[in-house]
Amino acid sequence: MKHRVLLLVAVAIIVSWGIVSGPMHDGRSAMILATPVASPKVSSAATPVGRSVSVANSVTINLGDAGFDPVYIESTNGHDLTITLVNTGTRQHSFRIDRYDINVSLNPGKQETVVIHSPSLGDFPYYSDAPGDEGMKGMLVFYI
């Protein structure tokens, strides 16, 4: 009787091991199907950090010493977009969108309005090339 119980336990262990580590229906072993560990690396294609807005016909962008606000703007195309630029910083900043030949430099406390007429679909980066503004950028997206 004792041998029969030991035999049943041994068979149960062998069968269990075969189920857990044996080949699956596609030939892979179940032992390698663990969930991957999350990577702490940040994607180089990460969205700029800051406020995002969706607008219809107009938007105000603050140009500050810490960057643009908002940094991500969505708008539908098929109509003009009026952009009011306000320098809220303590030094000169600029606002450029190469695709639309927009290049505005503003001293502290100043503002200017530009209009993009009949924008095309797509993603259009904006940035400042004023001294000290390296990395100051945002994204303007026009969609249907």
* pLDDT tens-digit series, residues 59-113: 999 999 999 999 999 999 999 999 999 999 999 999 999 999 999 999 999 999 9
Strands 58-64 and 81-87, by their bridges, are parallel
Return the minimum-mean-pLDDT range out of 15-19, 62-66, 79-83, 122-126: 15-19
pTM above the 0.75 mark? no
User: pLDDT tier at 45 (50, 70, 90 boundaries)?
Assistant: very low
- H-only helix segments in the chain: 2-21
d(CA 68, CA 61): 7
Instruction: Write out the CATH class of domain 52-143.
Output: mainly beta
Structure confidence at residue 39 (pLDDT): 45
Strands 137-143 and 72-76, by their bridges, are parallel
